[in-house]
Structure 1
Amino acid sequence: MTSHQGWRPKLVALDIDGTLLKWVDGGGGGSTHEVVPDAVHDAVQRALADGAHVVLASGRAPHGMTPIADQLDLQDPVTPDDKLWIVASNGSVIVRHPPTEIVHEETFDAAPAVHAVLQRHPDALVAIEERGVGYRVSAPFPDGELGGELIVTRLEDLVSAPVSRVIIRDPQATADDFVAMAAELGLHGTDYVVGWTAWMDLSPVGVSKASGLQYVAERLGVGAEDVLAIGDGRNDIEMLTWAGRGVAMGQAVQEVQDAADHVTGTVDEDGAAVELDRWFG
């Protein structure tokens, strides 16, 4: 944690789900949907007005992140006409937007890890990003869990070539089941993170939101000590420990809170806005 007096973030790294987005019940027959609360939007705008770079960092694929950047009205604080930086797919894909341009991607051979997991959870679902479209999946995922079009594809075809990220999901298991399984398997040659449910992201070794943000920060001339990062999931732990100030959302599991320098309010309490207003109020 950077704690010297007068410190102010030069770069703000923000997770999306559980950090920026709040679920709103449609009511009256309307569909439940995600929104960026006004308090969060306005706090982000104050950070931009103060000259801070704001970078979204998520496990989402790029096509699931760019609409959020647009909702937040993100722009580069120094050169507003320049493209934004976005860290997608848990750091495996670095994007400039708009229009969306992939500038860096890390890939790996996922087949050994996928087969090892499926030996323990043979009914688990597997997904690979289909760039700009949605996902290729071994079977349909539960409604609403993946954005874009879902293209059912044979498992062997899914992992026949190097990929940047794999999602494995077992609706019949729990997050604790997946945490225990991953620890037992080791998953050599692959990094992994378990979500809120029995959801596992597989990625290249050494790749995380932190490594993706490091790539971006270097190009913006910002050191890790000048970064404020806010997140709520296990896939945010590396980012929170890498940043000069790492802040966990109030609803984060204890493992994530323990990795942070500070814990803010929950997503329903607009905790991200509360933290941003400490520095850009």
Structure 2
Amino acid sequence: MGKIVFIDFDGTLADRGVVPPPHAEVIREARSRGHRILLCTGRPRSLVSDEVRVLFDGMVGAAGAYLEVDGEVLLDRRFPAELGDRVRALLDAHDAAYILETPDAVHARPTTPARIASLMHVGQDDGSPTSTTGGDIVDALRVSDDLSTVSFSKVANFDANAPMSEVANQLQPEVGFVPSSMATLGDRAGELYLAEVNKSVGMMMAVEHFGADHADIVAIGDGYNDLEMLTDAATAVVIEGSPEPLLALADLVVPPPEQAGLVEAFARLGLTE
């Protein structure tokens, strides 16, 4: 087989939630030449549209807790019930604006959609750029006063009354934390995930499923939750302007999605020749 390529979504594949047409075209071209191309995202399946999913052979979702290949679900890890209760209680105590992510839906308390919309300038005509990414999150939310029965894979938090790193410290060692990929949200935002799960977990399970060699693994990303997959891939492709720890791993650095960086990456890797 050819290469097996894992591509992050926000800031790598997509520009503010929108996939540039040249990126879609180059993925189709690489797949037609026998390469396997998978989305590898912190987003749950429920926050990836059908139009995006059909571009790929499969997806690693929820930052490694979920794997789907050719329509078959191979991995679906959730927070244990007791730990999930602790996470919700702690976030509620810190007045957090959080969402619980599952493959089928994203869940939130009734006050959360408006807080997210305000923080991300969704629909505002105040000179701030409208956030497409924030809009698709808000539109997808299922709201309820009672989230106790939600079995979730990951938590995305957008605001709290304390820095999220301090909140997350109270959940160690079972729960890991990464800053939000949306840097404008500041230090009171971030993602909580099962500490033993990361994108590389789903990536390596997909590699085993396809019977691929390590030398054929390519990972492309731009955020802190891409560190493990970039470390474990044979070839690490990093987006310009990424945090320094990622750039230090890079075999190749390419422009961001608004400049169709994947087109350059695929050409330099020989995926479209």
Q: Which residue of 2 aligns with 1:48?
A: 31
Deviation at 1:60, TM superposition (A): 1.2
> Is the contact between residue 65 and residue 77 of structure 2 (CA under 8 Å) also seen in structure 1?
yes
CA 1:128–1:266 in structure 2 vs 1: closer, same or farther (change >3 Å)?
Answer: same
Q: Which residue of 1 aligns with 2:64?
A: 91
> Is the contact between residue 127 and residue 166 of structure 1 (CA under 8 Å) also seen in structure 2?
yes
CA 1:172–1:265 in structure 2 vs 1: closer, same or farther (change >3 Å)?
Answer: farther
Q: Which residue of 2 aligns with 1:128?
A: 100
Q: Which residue of 1 aligns with 2:140?
A: 149
Q: TM-score, normalised on structure 2?
A: 0.77
- The one-letter code of the counterpart of 1:18 is G
Q: Which residue of 1 aligns with 2:124?
A: none
Q: Distance in 1 between matches of 2:14 and 2:22?
A: 11
Q: Does 1:68 align with 2:47?
A: no
- The one-letter code of the counterpart of 2:197 is V
The worse-fitting range, judged by mean Cα deviation, of 256-265 and 88-97 is 256-265
CA 1:189–1:97 in structure 2 vs 1: closer, same or farther (change >3 Å)?
Answer: same
Q: Does 1:170 align with 2:159?
A: yes
- The one-letter code of the counterpart of 2:85 is A
Q: Which residue of 1 aligns with 2:85?
A: 111
Q: Which residue of 1 aligns with 2:192?
A: 202
> Is the contact between residue 42 and residue 62 of structure 2 (CA under 8 Å) also seen in structure 1?
yes
- The one-letter code of the counterpart of 2:78 is T
RMSD after superposition = 2.7
CA 1:271–1:137 in structure 2 vs 1: closer, same or farther (change >3 Å)?
Answer: same
SS at match of 2:43: coil
> Is the contact between residue 165 and residue 203 of structure 1 (CA under 8 Å) also seen in structure 2?
yes
> Is the contact between residue 140 and residue 150 of structure 1 (CA under 8 Å) also seen in structure 2?
no
Q: Distance in 2 between matches of 1:226 and 1:93?
A: 22
Structure 1 gaps of 5+ residues are 1-7, 24-33, 75-83
- The one-letter code of the counterpart of 2:240 is G
Which structure: greater helix fraction? 2
> Is the contact between residue 249 and residue 272 of structure 1 (CA under 8 Å) also seen in structure 2?
no
Q: Does 1:262 align with 2:257?
A: no
Deviation at 1:117, TM superposition (A): 5.3
CA 1:184–1:207 in structure 2 vs 1: closer, same or farther (change >3 Å)?
Answer: closer
- The one-letter code of the counterpart of 1:128 is L
Q: Distance in 1 between matches of 2:69 and 2:271?
A: 25
> Is the contact between residue 42 and residue 225 of structure 2 (CA under 8 Å) also seen in structure 1?
yes
Query: Which aligned segments of 4 or more residues in structure 1 are displaced greater than 4 angstroms?
Result: 113-119, 159-162, 182-186
SS at match of 2:6: strand
Q: Which residue of 1 aligns with 2:20?
A: 37
- After TM superposition, the structure 1 = structure 2 runs for residues 208-227 of structure 1, keeping only pairs within 5 Å, are 208-227=198-217
1:190-232 CA distance string (max 9 Å, x none): 1222223343222222211110111111000013331111111
- The one-letter code of the counterpart of 2:23 is V
- The one-letter code of the counterpart of 1:129 is E
1:143-188 CA distance string (max 9 Å, x none): 353265323334xx43566532122220777xxx434x26854622
CA 1:151–1:38 in structure 2 vs 1: closer, same or farther (change >3 Å)?
Answer: closer
CA 1:219–1:148 in structure 2 vs 1: closer, same or farther (change >3 Å)?
Answer: farther
Structure 2 gaps of 5+ residues are 118-132
1:234-281 CA distance string (max 9 Å, x none): 111111111111111113222332333332112222112211111224
SS at match of 2:42: coil
1:113-160 CA distance string (max 9 Å, x none): 4544555xx22112113543x321133232353265323334xx4356
- Residue correspondences, number: 242
Q: Distance in 1 between matches of 2:43 and 2:85?
A: 21
Q: Distance in 1 between matches of 2:168 and 2:76?
A: 27
Q: TM-score, normalised on structure 1?
A: 0.75
Q: 1:190 aligns with which of 175, 178, 186?
A: 175
> Is the contact between residue 111 and residue 160 of structure 1 (CA under 8 Å) also seen in structure 2?
no
> Is the contact between residue 18 and residue 267 of structure 1 (CA under 8 Å) also seen in structure 2?
yes
